[in-house]
Structure 1
Amino acid sequence: MTDVNPRPATVTPNEAADMLDISPVTVRRYYKEGLLRGRKIGTRLIRIETASVDELIAQGEQQPAD
């Protein structure tokens, strides 16, 4: 059976923050430091790879909220 609502390949920093239970500011910092993979869209927008969020959760690397 196929999944009716598959997870998106990328999420916004706010969505990633909710998944990790950290602040969006921390998500952006993790992206800049290379702890989360993603892509930049234009000059300001970023999208975080869902697989990268899942890997961070699996590693238990999330930090307390700012």
Structure 2
Amino acid sequence: MAKYTEDSKEEVKEALHKMKEGKLKIGKSNTKVTNPKQAIAIGLSEAEEHSAKSSKTKKPSAKKK
């Protein structure tokens, strides 16, 4: 099984919590998420987006010769 960072775990935890409250929605259709597996997938996707954004800002650009 894959190991996830603490940030990823936190995003998944928040997504599951929102699903249980009925506040987690899917895309443009705005339908409620009822499947816990789908909530986990959404949480991991959001965590990946956040890590991609932060890693882009931290890495210096490569120099071309």
Larger helix share, 1 or 2: 2
Q: Same fold (TM over 0.5)?
A: no
Larger radius of gyration between Structure 1 and Structure 2:
2
TM-score where L is the length of structure 1: 0.28
Larger strand share, 1 or 2: 1
TM-score where L is the length of structure 2: 0.28
